[in-house]
Structure 1
């Protein structure tokens, strides 16, 4: 049996489940939550934390996406399809979030001593453990024709179902993954393929945007022939945290964490207002 990554075996986990808050829960709030938790975990005021989150009809853009030559038209297209658009504060490019996509943040301490790749490796190991009873075919390598391609894309037989990003805040790191659980991965990819076609047209750009091939993306249910719900994967995650640690506590933000959240949320709002101001 493969050795379990040491970052996944803290003395205790804190578990925050925001996967059923509904459409009113904004992705701007989500990224501010992770920043606040990264500060708290990094200062050892909180144990290693796992946070689950779902956002409805939301496209999260990366900073380079905002520099597309026709970004105004691209965002108008996404809005016309019923999506709200935000720009995140962690790495990567555009991703699709909806009720069939479960997001997991694992928030680790000691980012100054632990290199960035360790966080990515720990998340890859966690997902492999999570689904070990169903498949041993999960691989981590860049799926170049997916949306938001990266070295730690997770795929089965060459079709991507998840992507990982990481944000380091002070002494903590938030490793974030989206998991396409239900629905059509290709349909999500087609939406962003059209977004890039509209936003870039045939212009030459300094940044290389992905040339998306929708069929390289799929949901877990499509790949595994399962009928998982987001709640099923949520339950699996909680069970796995209990197996990996001696204690799992459930508590939301408290004390200084609330102050950090409010400050980071305002920063997210201001960043988005500045980046998208020309669209008004």
Structure 2
């Protein structure tokens, strides 16, 4: 019987590390890159790809957030606090990115067999557990009520959420994405999103349900493990696990074919953001 863990075992893992270079780019570009990788891996132009990315202060809204009655007031508040604001094309609600948040994407082909959505989530959960196997903690996957962007695959330790997972599917390719709060204050990030929703709703009844955020239920891994973890520490753990799961691990950048695909996906992402945010 196949398990989610099988998805981590690939003959060849290509790694695109943008955990440093990404600081100089807008997060919009990262979502366009993952769409590009989905299409390329799905068409078997490229091998299974693992990508890491970190961006400066950015709030990534979900499509549902764009239905908030006073969205522009909330966006103005975030910008006043020094955050870029973008809308992503995968599911979920608002999340925080900054220099203490590491994002990982696993981009896999569905060429042999369709990847069930829960199987994708389970694979990422297994990866994170494997990365921290030497630490005496239990990493749970369950919804943490009161967190921002809550979901059944919130990753938590002792009831405090430090990570959330989403998925994006394009033409035979699947990108399983996770944000990991590594350093800084998880509750301060949550407080920012709490205030965003307060300004964007102003107490009005809404068709969609938005989270009532309790900042205390969120924390960074450094806080939870009582240690000064860095992005580089976690990257090393990530690469070590991938090395044990493949016959070949290579560090690469986008191929020539992917670069040409990327321009189209970037234009779509920018166009959608301009439309939604009125820019």
Interval containing the TM-score (normalised by the shorter chain): over 0.9
Q: Residues of 2 paired with 1:276 and 1:189: CA distance?
A: 22
Matches for 1:95-114 after TM superposition, within 5 Å: 95-110=95-110, 113-114=114-115
Partner of 1:7: 7
In structure 1, how many angstroms separate the alpha carbons of the residues matched to 2:61 and 2:240?
32
Aligned counterpart, 1:118: 119
Structure 1 residue 24, shift from structure 2 partner: 2.5
**Corresponding residue of 1:225:** 226
Tell me, in whole angstroms, the C-alpha distance in 2 between the residues paired with 1:265 and 1:109.
21
Q: Give distance in 1, aligned partners of 2:116 and 2:4.
A: 17
How far did residue 61 of structure 1 move?
0.3
CA distance, structure 2, for counterparts of residue 13 and residue 34 of structure 1:
15
Superposed CA offset, 1:231-256 (max 9, x none): 11011111111111111111111122
Structure 1 equivalent of residue 52 of structure 2: 52
Where in structure 1 are there 5+ consecutive unaligned residues?
none
Query: Any gaps of 5 or more consecutive residues in structure 2?
Result: none
The 5-angstrom pairing of residues 1-280 of structure 1 reads: 5-21=5-21, 23-110=23-110, 113-277=114-278
- Does the CA contact (< 8 Å) of 2:106 and 2:177 recur in 1? yes
Tell me by how many angstroms 1:4 deviates. Answer: 7.2
d(CA) in 2 for partners of 1:109, 1:11: 13
> CA separation in 2, counterparts of 1:114 and 1:261?
24
User: Which of structure 1's runs of 4+ aligned residues deviate more than 3 A?
Assistant: none
Larger mean CA deviation between 178-187 and 38-47 belongs to 38-47
Q: In structure 2, how many angstroms separate the alpha carbons of the residues matched to 1:138 and 1:223?
A: 11
RMSD of aligned alpha carbons: 1.2
Cα distance between partner residues in 2 of 1:149 and 1:27: 21
Once the 2 structures are TM-superposed, how far is the Cα of residue 193 of structure 1 from its aligned partner?
0.3
How many residue pairs get aligned? The number is 276
Q: 1:48: Cα distance to partner?
A: 1.1
**Contact 2:137/2:157, CA 8 A, preserved across alignment:** no
Q: Could you tell me how far 1:22 is from its partner in structure 2?
A: 5.0
Q: For structure 1, which segment, 57-66 or 105-114, has the greater mean C-alpha deviation from structure 2 after superposition? A: 105-114
Q: Alpha-carbon deviation of 1:200?
A: 0.5
TM-score for the superposition, normalised by structure 2: 0.96
Asked whether the equivalents of residues 128 and 136 of structure 1 are also in contact (C-alpha less than 8 Å), the reply is no
Cα deviation, 1:151-187, whole Å, max 9, x if unaligned, reads 1000001000000000001100000000000000000
Cα deviation digits, residues 15-59 of structure 1 (max 9, x gap):
000010154311111001101111111122221111000010100
